Amino acid sequence: MLQELLSKNHIEPARVIKFDQEKLHHFDLSKNNQELDRIDLNDEQQFTEYIQAVLDKNDCTTGIGGYGEERSLYSRSDLFSDEEPRTIHLGIDIWTKAGTPIYSPLEATVHSYANHRVHGDYGPVIILEHEIDDEIFYTLYGHLSTMSLHGLYEGKLIKKGEQFASLGAYHENFHWPPHLHFQVMLDMEGLKGDYPGVCKASEKKRFLENCPDPALLLGK
């Protein structure tokens, strides 16, 4: 649906984060990555050092990946614990420096926003609403700076390519190395200021149908 809308209307999304393609590393943070077996994922410093070490080793300034990955790293937070843990990642992560500007890929209005101050959660998050040919969908931006929420209000117009946020530092995004969690939702299911970024494996089909690959909206 999303790809058809963009193609039919000849829409090229703006860059969400401007990075050098030659300095981009594609991360594998799935449970199949044996490198992760050698670090304590519940040790926040070790995980942060691992992310930076991989970028340094590959001479990269930005890392990307994660859509649909089955991950084990969420054991580090009680937020994802349940009888069946949430392990399927529903967005794309872009790992780069705190303070990096974030731009809207399309014209939008602010749907909602919040600051989830819970270990392992989004921290500051903004959800934008987009409309093309009477079709409405949403984009979510998690792990932002607290300053990103200043001056916001629901319904605020955000132009395509306009900077509306920046990446948060470690203490702001609630104990994650600086990165953007970028996600698309076709239906907000009545939620405001939040939408799950990770789901249970048993619910994978339903959630991935509602959360298509956000790579379509990253821009070039």
Q: Average of pLDDT values for 59-69?
A: 94
Domain carrying residue 84: 2-217
Give me the pLDDT at residue 79, please.
45
CA distances (Å), origin 189, targets 35, 53, 138, 193: 37, 39, 11, 12
Residue 71 has pLDDT above 80, yes or no: yes
Helix (H) / strand (E) containing 209: helix 204-210
The answer to whether residues 15 and 220 touch, using CB atoms and an 8 Å cutoff, is yes
**Into how many domains does the chain fold?**
1
Structural tokens at position 204: 């994978």
CA–CA separation, 31 vs 87, rounded Å?
9
For the full predicted model, state whether its pTM sits above 0.85: yes
Q: What CATH number corresponds to the domain at position 157? A: 2.70.70.10
What does the mean pLDDT of the chain come to?
90
The answer to whether residues 127 and 167 touch, using CB atoms and an 8 Å cutoff, is no
Q: Average of pLDDT values for 160-164?
A: 97
Please give the share of the chain, as a percent, with pLDDT higher than 70.
94
**Best CA proximity match to 132, nearest among 24, 49, 18, 217:** 217
